[in-house]
Amino acid sequence: MGNRCALVVGATGLVGGHVVQELAHPSGPPGSEHDRIVVLVRRPSGGAFTGKADVDEKVVDFDRLDRADFEGIDDVFACLGTTIKVAGSQEAFRKVDHDYTVKVAELAKAAGATRFALVSSVGADAGSRNFYLRTKGETERDVEAIGFSTLIVARPSVLVGTRHESRPGEKIGIAVGRAVSFAMIGGLAKYRPIEARVVARAMITAIAEGTAGKRVLLHDDLVELAAAS
């Protein structure tokens, strides 16, 4: 993976933050050896990436992204995400989760990127009646249509980790999920809570493997890939 450049969007979020940490760490997972890491942020991170070798932080307006911001990018890690409560409306939520992600994919592909890793959600389905799951499914569909040689789609359930923002409902989901995870076997295993760091490591490993086409990673796939790294 030498002489490659990675782009991370959503780098100040839970999974995205771990992606940057793993990519920048000298002993990160196999495939994390990139010569340069670019992170696109809406506002200065306040030193979140200070001291991390080869991390180039760019403050951009996601409503006015420029192809120049994507020149030289080989691998993209799209970790943008919010909640309807934080965004303020369904329209604002979709703008972040779908519109920004698809625009990033379009510009990265036009600039020559070949591999794209996307954080989606368990149950993502473009035909779902559930707005959240439908948006996630439509994002997957529209990114896939752009035609990356490798598309990695991580579909975790509830993410475990320390967030900067408070999500009480998610904390309840984590507690419940952990309490009953022993019973989540077979088809229910994909709903087990999972650490954000595990998702990040699995995405990096899967990108490095470079499997052609779309590859969907559910809970057990993510755990296995992260452990292998």
pLDDT digits (tens, 9 = 90+) for 98-144: 999 999 999 999 999 999 999 999 999 999 999 999 999 999 999 99
Rounded CA separation 76/24 (Å): 15
- Going through 64-183 in order, the beta strands assigned E by DSSP cover 75-78, 115-119, 150-154, 159-160
Residues 80 and 42 sit within 8 Å (Cβ to Cβ): no
Phi–psi pair at 26, nearest 5 degrees: -55, -30
Active-site residues: which are they? 132, 136
Structure-token match 């579909």, residue found = 155
**136-161 average pLDDT score:** 96
pLDDT digits (tens, 9 = 90+) for 45-65: 877 776 666 789 999 999 999
Residue type, 22: E
Rounded CA separation 80/38 (Å): 15
What's this model's pTM, rounded to 2 decimal places? 0.87
Which two three-digit tokens encode residue 104? 């990033």
Residues 149 and 212 sit within 8 Å (Cβ to Cβ): yes
